[in-house]
Amino acid sequence: MTTTRTRRALAFLSVALLAVAAAGCSARGEAPPARLGNPHAPPPSSADGTARGFTLVASGDVLPHDSIIQRAAADANGSGHDFRPMFSRVKPLVSAADLALCHMETVYGPDGGPFTGYPAFTSPPQVADGLRDAGYDGCSTASNHTLDAGPEGIARTLGAFDRVGLGHAGSARTAAEAATPTVYRAGSAKVAHLAYTYDTNGYPLPKGQPWAVNLMEKDKIIADARAARKAGADVVLVSLHWGTEWQTEPDERQLTLGRALTASQTGTRPDIDLILGTHAHVPQAYEKVNGTWIVYGMGDQVAGEMFNHSGARDLRGNYGSIGRFTFAPPAAAGERWQVTKAEFVPQMMDLASGKVVNLPAALAEDPDEERYRTAQDAIGEAVLSRGAAKSGLTMGK
């Protein structure tokens, strides 16, 4: 990647954090997995030593159905699977951010397959190559499909991420890995990324591995956020796989949990700085709650033809938004990093071309593309449906 970003997932080695984490681990003596970077290095700063802000980009569900897998095989010209072309039209946007996070909803199959789509997904590991090429630094991996292939699926997925240099949060191969928060350097900030899912489609947690997937429990999320902050995180991001499928409006659980999480604070500082939602398959609203932005649902980024609960083909299943947030350093040490600019960028999985499309950029090139105009309008209506424009949210490109 030709970028000035420092893309490194850092391990927190704080004794305080390990003590907290060990209390909930079955393998307390196990060493945390090695991560890239030096957690004791001074934060990057500008030439005059001042702190530097950063831009965050986050996007919705990557859900490779059979047709998506077939498209990647065709793009590889008979040699495996190539997902890089699929992300090529959002690559300029993603790669320009200081920190870019996706949501990998499915787990990976073994090299060479077999690979499957709905209902139990096992995706080609080359999805990770496509995400990394697009400019993503890491992904949330906690979803209702995380246990579709058991712990082996988790291990294959996280192994593929490690191979290409992607960070991951929400699922784990060991108790120590689960207890070690994923942290990125962005600007001069240490940014912790935590991720949770509402359910695992009825699959029980693997025997002896209660830490394999993070389940969405309010007290655990707050405790994890506080532990990450205590260990040195300047910004804490929380990804939540939640909501009601095909429902544009956030459901009561989203609203209730969102209020509780954004209200949680230690002293005068909120414990969580941003909530990123996935799962509903349709774009949902952005809203500022208790001074903190919540993205209830970014919709699908990659998906095949989608059919809603009535069995009808639903174009909304290929609509989504990319959230872009600009964070500025606090005025004084120990205060909150502030979101100074909040944007959404409408995107669409164009099944005809097999590519994810940045809609404002595409419409700037071809204003008469009616499919893109219709999609952008629908996405904007959903995203702004809870008054986010009044809180300063704008459409970017």
Which tens digits make up the pLDDT trace of 322-362?
Answer: 999 999 999 888 899 999 999 999 999 999 999 999 999 99
> What is the predicted pLDDT for the residue at 334?
85
DSSP element (H, E) containing 159: helix 150-164
Banded model confidence at residue 45, pLDDT cuts 50, 70, 90 = low
Q: pTM of the prediction?
A: 0.89
Name the band, by pLDDT with cuts 50, 70 and 90, for residue 12: very low
Length of the chain counted residue by residue: 397
CA angle, corner 331, sides to 326 and 337, nearest 5? 35
What domains does the chain contain, in order, with CATH numbers? 54-395 (3.60.21.10)
Given a cut of 80, whether residue 296 has pLDDT beyond it is yes
For residue range 127-162, list pLDDT tens digits in order: 999 999 999 999 999 999 999 999 999 999 999 999
Residue 43 has pLDDT above 60, yes or no: no
Of the chain, the percentage scoring pLDDT greater than 70 comes to 88
Which band of pLDDT confidence, cut at 50, 70 and 90, is reported for residue 50?
confident
d(CA 338, CA 335): 9
Per the CB < 8 A criterion, the answer to whether 155 and 172 are in contact is no
The pLDDT tens digits of the residues spanning 229-269 come to 998 999 999 999 999 999 999 999 999 999 999 999 999 99
Average pLDDT over the chain, rounded to whole? 90
pLDDT of amino acid 48: 58
Q: Determine the pLDDT at residue 109.
A: 98
- pLDDT score of 36: 34
pLDDT at 78: 84
What pLDDT is attached to residue 41?
A: 36
What's the CA gap between 105 and 168, in Å, rounded?
Answer: 12
pLDDT given at position 104: 98
Phi, psi of 52 (to 5 degrees): -120, 135
Percent of the chain exceeding pLDDT 90 equals 86
Element counts in the chain: helices (H) and strands (E): 10, 20
Tokens coding 83: 């997902």
